[in-house]
Structure 1
């Protein structure tokens, strides 16, 4: 140990490889605290944004940001978006701020952050998505507002007949065949039509033409929604689709290769790990076809005890993608570990295999 300003620090190693599941120290020698993260590459630098965790999953600090030029060694750049001191703010201490994703808008010159927001004291009932902006990649970001997406807008792939509630109403008892049919036919979409759709686990994807898409777990986490954002990336256009109704997909992560869009998601088991899923489509708005579990080998059925958060295209290395995931520690969230693994290909399908260590 050595001392900085009287504080004992463990010396940071100079990494030349990834060590999935191990404690990953920043350049100050502290375990990186950026869970549920996403990465943005700008002007030769990678920026990793994530949830600052304490013992619980509640936001007490905000969204942190780290920078790197090699993906192995990360400098703590501080808090990109702080929880608000105002107790009436939507992002006050004790709210839930999860899965931050930051993108740069070429037209406005702004950095735009989206994240899953739950209001203080409401558990996971609010199911909102929040947006903040900054002129700098490291912040500070200014919180703008939160949304229940697509209020008053029907999805593009929704049948006209589904817009009317059945005469005998929607089933109240979950998990029956009648309930599953009603879910598929949009009962939660109808329920939330006026106030906007639920939004929990989410990501942002920027297409080659600069169009931004917001992809989120909705309808009580039963169905993914893919929404086109406005040109400034700050609002919803009302153009959206449902993906895999009733498929129970969470933790979406999207990338593009050889004219196909790929998505990796997790199943729905709370903090417990499950088998990942993969999909591909010719259009980001679908239709999406199932490709099965991309995780292969021992513990592949639990995605190596982790859950997807982002797929990182490595700058300057064509068709090189990193699967980023979190190994959650719900009894002590700050001890959550990062699982970064290379995406390989077999039969035109993404494949993820465990590696104790690996380098680019």
Structure 2
């Protein structure tokens, strides 16, 4: 009888703890709020992207530290896992920076916007990221490659490159390939912008390879993968095709929205059309988002305007955030979630996440602010 009472008491305690744990689980999104992981620590995966593999989502992002220096890569790329997108388990550091001063990814370099895709052909998880060499500011403008056998890593760093060396964009005309430009052009003048649109920086970087800063990855329905990045001093987006292994460039690429000054690209496909959301270039300060649509991944791309809806301030600052990735809603096929970062340059580790549903109005993607929302 005594044993029975003890078992009853133990069962009650376990049920109480289970119910408490369930009640403590996050069951909605709260944009801009602290977002604790399974350890109760604010998620540290900034400028990130998601990958779904065998029913589990993996969130990769920059691991920030406290203070202004936190925007440099002092730790590496953090990864979290989730089965519901609300609650995330800390899976550790997927790609760790090196202590070797000769390594390109030595501690103190810049690693931003890591994205990971799975290659069914090779069985490898492939990571690309914006990479700047230590002590060189943002002048290197390279993209880094790392691969792993597991979605949580460890990822092995391969190299960093300036893509498409010695290759012209597919949408360049014969005239553009032969153009020459005055040596002295005043930045932001009408003549300078015309020269940029004509291929000024493509010509400049033709031999060494093009610049690649803010970036994302996209795998199309046919399995082809694309590397989309801000190039030409952040003035033009480039969409570059990757090889079948996803680990190199095929040298097939296009210059998109020349001289448009777009960065932070995020892309998705709906009903056979490609949609792109990007931002202006204002450093860590937020600005108004832009949206675009195309019938083919290589374009041409048509502007759809600012996708944000709300107050003037909300629309002019993308809800005080900047785009980083777009993921399909697992509860509603054909609907998508905008992922943005609310940067905190004075204390990088405190950066917040702005996840909001993307809706369609008059065949245009629109984003409305919501204090709290759920997938269904």
Distance 1:171 1:321 in 2: 46
Aligned partner of 1:320 in structure 2 is 335
Structure 2 residues without counterparts, runs of 5 or longer: 1-22
- Is 1:25 matched with 2:40? no
Given that residues 44 and 349 in structure 2 are in contact (C-alpha distance below 8 angstroms), is that contact kept between their aligned partners in structure 1?
Answer: yes
Question: 2:152 pairs with 117, 138, 161, which one?
Answer: 138
Shift of 1:51: 0.1
Query: For residues 101-150 of structure 1, what are the alpha-carbon distances to aligned partners after superposition, in whole Å with 9 as ceiling and x for unaligned?
Result: 00000100000000000000000000000010000000000000111010
Distance 1:202 1:171 in 2: 30
TM-score of the pair, normalised by structure 1: 0.95
Distance 2:79 2:250 in 1: 29
Give the count of matched residue pairs.
348
Aligned partner of 1:236 in structure 2 is 249
Given that residues 242 and 248 in structure 2 are in contact (C-alpha distance below 8 angstroms), is that contact kept between their aligned partners in structure 1?
Answer: yes
1:301-312 maps to which residues of 2 (within 5 A)?
301-312=316-327
Shift of 1:171: 3.6
Question: 2:303 pairs with 282, 290, 299, which one?
Answer: 290
Question: 1:154 pairs with 124, 146, 168, which one?
Answer: 168
Given that residues 254 and 262 in structure 1 are in contact (C-alpha distance below 8 angstroms), is that contact kept between their aligned partners in structure 2?
Answer: yes
Instruction: Extract structure 1 runs of 4+ deviating beyond 6 A.
Output: none
Question: 2:80 pairs with 66, 76, 92, which one?
Answer: 66
Distance 2:77 2:125 in 1: 14
Distance 2:249 2:282 in 1: 29
Q: Which is greater in Rg? A: 2
Shift of 1:160: 1.4
In structure 1, the residue corresponding to 2:319 is in which secondary structure?
helix
Shift of 1:336: 0.3
Distance 2:39 2:216 in 1: 29
In structure 1, the residue corresponding to 2:182 is in which secondary structure?
coil
Query: For residues 86-111 of structure 1, what are the alpha-carbon distances to aligned partners after superposition, in whole Å with 9 as ceiling and x for unaligned?
Result: 11111110000000000000100000
Please state which structure has a larger fraction of its residues in helix: 2
Distance 1:279 1:293 in 2: 9
Shift of 1:233: 0.3
Distance 1:64 1:300 in 2: 30
- Is 1:76 matched with 2:90? yes
TM-score of the pair, normalised by structure 2: 0.91
Query: For residues 5-53 of structure 1, what are the alpha-carbon distances to aligned partners after superposition, in whole Å with 9 as ceiling and x for unaligned?
Result: xxxxxxx941000000000000100000000000000111000000000
Given that residues 170 and 182 in structure 1 are in contact (C-alpha distance below 8 angstroms), is that contact kept between their aligned partners in structure 2?
Answer: no
Distance 1:354 1:90 in 2: 40
Distance 1:133 1:94 in 2: 21
1:66-145 maps to which residues of 2 (within 5 A)?
66-145=80-159
Query: For residues 61-110 of structure 1, what are the alpha-carbon distances to aligned partners after superposition, in whole Å with 9 as ceiling and x for unaligned?
Result: 00000000010000000000000121111111000000000000010000
Q: What is the CA RMSD across the aligned residues, in angstroms?
A: 1.1
1:184-199 maps to which residues of 2 (within 5 A)?
184-199=197-212
Shift of 1:165: 4.5
